[in-house]
Amino acid sequence: MARAAKRRVDVSDRDPVGGAQDHPGEDPAQATGDQVIGHLLDLGLTDYQEASRLQVALHQARVQNAIGDTLLLTEHLPVYTLGRTTRPAHVGEGWARGMINGIPVLSTDRGGSVTYHGPGQVVGYPILRLRTYCDGPKAYVNRLEEVLIRALDPLKVPAGRRAGMPGVWVGDRKIAAVGVRISEGVTRHGFALNVANVLSPFAAIVPCGLAGAGMTSVALVTGAALELEAVGLAVIGAFQEVFGLALQKEHVAEWLASTDARPGPIECVNSKGA
């Protein structure tokens, strides 16, 4: 949903429409054949606010062409996040109290309504120059959905889309949410895939503002105890395939120190590659 602020676009689970501004200047991204070389940062288990600070820093670095396109992968400590279309009715008493059943409620600048993040999810935050891959936000959201659908296929999860309801679904139950923000032609926020996380926290909210929408997970659909890392690898492979991007896994601390991104120390509870 396009907002009044200049050069910014919100794309949400409720309204994946709008445009994006391009940023001029020399782009550091390198190409090999038909692929662009990008960076992969696997943060492990993180506090949402710490990961958000990193996103903001990398977004600004990408806008300034200080870094190439980057995918952050993480899972979060329990948290509810509010998108820009969240209404008080979507979160009940959590709207005023900032807490639901002991889980913090945080406002964000992404599109969409409220969702829950917790251990057992694969959460992805692409920091991409949009024009390299898509004509606009609608096409971008479609590609993120396609990444997840392809990643789930070999896991025997019959995932797909529902008309007018962005995100990824298994029948009438949602398995992954998509909510992004695009400013100065560069993406932020992304997707959250339910793998082995508990689903009960979703019952305290109206997920994505969709009343009556049920939630599911990879573990619930398959009945199998899948390793989160294995699902993450499937997501990475599908992401590279859909976006034509060759991701190089970086040592988080060393790579950040070598860039112009200065987010401050990132406190990863269980950082991988850091």
Q: What is the pLDDT of residues 170-184, one digit of tens each?
A: 999 999 999 999 999
Residue 78 domain flag: yes
Query: Looking at per-residue confidence, does 262 or 136 come out higher?
Result: 136
| Burial (CB count <10 Å: 0-12, 13-18, 19+), residue 264 | exposed
Q: What mean pLDDT do residues 215-238 have?
A: 96
Residue 269 domain flag: no
Place of tokens 């998108």: 83
Calculate the average pLDDT of the chain: 85
Residue 119 domain flag: yes
Residue 270 domain flag: no
**Confidence band of 17 (pLDDT split at 50, 70, 90):** very low
**Confidence band of 14 (pLDDT split at 50, 70, 90):** very low
Question: Above pLDDT 90, what percent of the chain?
Answer: 66
For residue 273, the SS3 value is coil
Please list the active-site residues. Answer: 208
Residue 271 domain flag: no
**Confidence band of 31 (pLDDT split at 50, 70, 90):** low
What tokens were used for 3? 């907002």
Rounded to whole angstroms, the Cα distance separating 19 from 10 reads 9
Q: Which residues have C-beta within 8 Å of that of residue 248, sequence separation ≥ 6?
A: 37, 38, 39, 40
Q: Which helix (H) or strand (E) holds 53?
A: helix 48-63
**Confidence band of 32 (pLDDT split at 50, 70, 90):** low
Residue 24 domain flag: yes
Residue 272 domain flag: no
pLDDT higher than threshold 60 for residue 22:
no
Query: Looking at per-residue confidence, does 97 or 195 come out higher?
Result: 195
Query: Looking at per-residue confidence, does 140 or 7 come out higher?
Result: 140
pLDDT higher than threshold 90 for residue 54:
yes
pLDDT higher than threshold 90 for residue 267:
no
So what's the pLDDT on residue 248? Answer: 96
- Residue 113 is part of a domain; what is its CATH number? 3.30.930.10
Rounded to whole angstroms, the Cα distance separating 96 from 135 reads 39
For residue 256, the SS3 value is helix
**Count of structural domains within the chain:** 1
Residue 83 domain flag: yes
Summarize pLDDT for 85-132 with one digit per residue, the tens: 888 888 888 888 899 999 999 999 998 889 999 999 999 999 999 999
Q: Which residues have C-beta within 8 Å of that of residue 26, sequence separation ≥ 6?
A: 65
So what's the pLDDT on residue 7? Answer: 35
Q: What angle do CA 104, 106, 110 make, to 5 degrees?
A: 145
**Domain extent for 216:** 8-260
Q: What mean pLDDT do residues 232-247 have?
A: 98
Q: Which residues have C-beta within 8 Å of that of residue 176, sequence separation ≥ 6?
A: 145, 148, 159, 167, 168, 191, 192, 193, 194
